Structure 1
Amino acid sequence: MPKAVISSFDFADYLANSKNLIEAALDDSLGPENPELLRDAMRYSLLAGGKRLRPILCLAACELACGDSEKAMPTAVALEMIHTMSLIHDDLPSMDNDDLRRGRPTNHKVYGDAIAILAGDALLTRAFEMVAIRTSDVPADRLLMVVGELSLAAGAPGLVGGQVVDLESEGKEVDLDTLEYIHLHKTGALLRACLICGALIGGAKQDLLDALDVYAKGIGLAFQIIDDILDVTASSEVLGKTAGKDLIADKTTYPKLIGLEKSKERANELVQAAKDALNPWKEKSAPLLALADYITNRDR
């Protein structure tokens, strides 16, 4: 029975094992290359820890599509590189201007603004190398689709566009539609790419891709709502980044628009809708179902 499969799934073990494999792959992705200063700056942020949810989502989606998650690992690494680039750039003085990330000084505080920008650029371009050159035994047409998805997620239709609207909205009255646009692009687009890219490598059919699209929208918005809540309720020590910075920057957030309790309700509704989308694959989707719950229950 599906319930028995899901209840016997050890999510903590799955999370720990997946994270260990990903950390090793990330370490291998940046070898003894030159210039050393650039490599060190790239490694500083890429290997700074974190939940590694994005690469885990990629591997889990590949497995759900009955693919070999080992073949998806270069793409999982690529997605974490793009995410890390976005964090490096997001923390810059000209952007969100943060001094703390993952519990230690941000990249530009250690290496300066110029090297931080270049380290982010290098990680972004290395991501496409991971997919196009370092992936083995995956049909070329699937890799081409993955490259396309990464381009859309990382560029103006995705996180860059979301960041621009986010910056333009500071200090202004923003409605819920605009806030959701920011979240779906700045955060949600890359989360969606994690799932779609993993599934594409696994050879997913269109019905699964459509379901993952719905799942991605749900967890993408929920993830950011929880981020908004934690920015208000958690300490910098717990978050590993500066708490309350959205309030300082006068940004519109879910708690600011609809209050804390309704924000929590909205996040729970989105996660349930995400999980419901995977009902036809319930016997195989235990990791993704558990990851959806983890998003709303996390404390950092």
Structure 2
Amino acid sequence: MREGQDPGPCAAPDDEVVHLPVAELVIEGSPRASGEDQEHVRSLAAVEQQLPPIIVHRATMRVIDGAHRVRAARLSEKKHIRACYFDGSAEDAFVLAVQANVRHGLPLSLKDRISAAERILVTHPQWSDRMISTAAGISARTAAEIRRRSAEPEPSGVRIGQDGRARPVDAARRRSLATALLTENPDLSLRQVAQVVGVSPETVRAVRNRLLYGRRPPPVRSPKRQRQEVGWAPEEQDAAVRRLASDPAVRQTDAGRVLLRVLRTQAMTAEEWQKIVDNVPLHCAPLVEQAARESARMWAEVAARVARNSSLAE
């Protein structure tokens, strides 16, 4: 695996750099719906320094990463280009192409990243939402929503995380089964219960410890309720802002008025947010994405601090 690549279930390209004939390379199946940016191709063709090697799927000679560099090489009438081979499947080659275009070069648009996530979910349904979100450059919440809309069946009742470990999708239900087994048969070993229920012995140990201290496992929630708790609907957000505005402790202080002003600017419907997303100029997309991610990070920090202050006051 080359430096800078994240570990994951997919294989990595070879470290060996070879020189491949430009004429034999295939440029198709890119995650970029609009194709290559010709201005970017011309700018690469004018670069005098040696560009990084492209990545090529050995079985098909399809360019996985570096289509712009290949177009630039053809524009400059170069016969060969530096490359590294990838020997994985066509499905893994697409994932690698998405990861490469998310990390560097001309970034993929949000629309392209969501389309890529939808395709990865079909070819890699066993991957966790966070694994898919990391590969496609979207949030885990968006990946979960894509999975919910697709109604793709769980291949084996487990999902593979970024650490390569398989975890059951219905973990809460399995812990409840382990609780029932240990309650009825306290002499069963951890390994026996784990084998029957389909969890790790360490999970069974945690369940047994809860029973020893008189604590029951958390109730199993339905998927519908879990989805409802992922985030507020816009009307709930609007109602929360109105309640804050009616509270004198907020409305009659400088800091409270600033808070209300900021919250009101962000209390928009999903359609209004989508209209903003659809009208971001392509050349501004990286800056808008960076600003949005930083804003999200700051709000997450604010939420954590407010929750911490609230818990200290109880």
TM-score, structure 2 as length reference: 0.22
Larger Rg: 2
Q: TM-score scaled by structure 1?
A: 0.23
More contact order relative to length (CA 8 Å, sep ≥ 6): 1
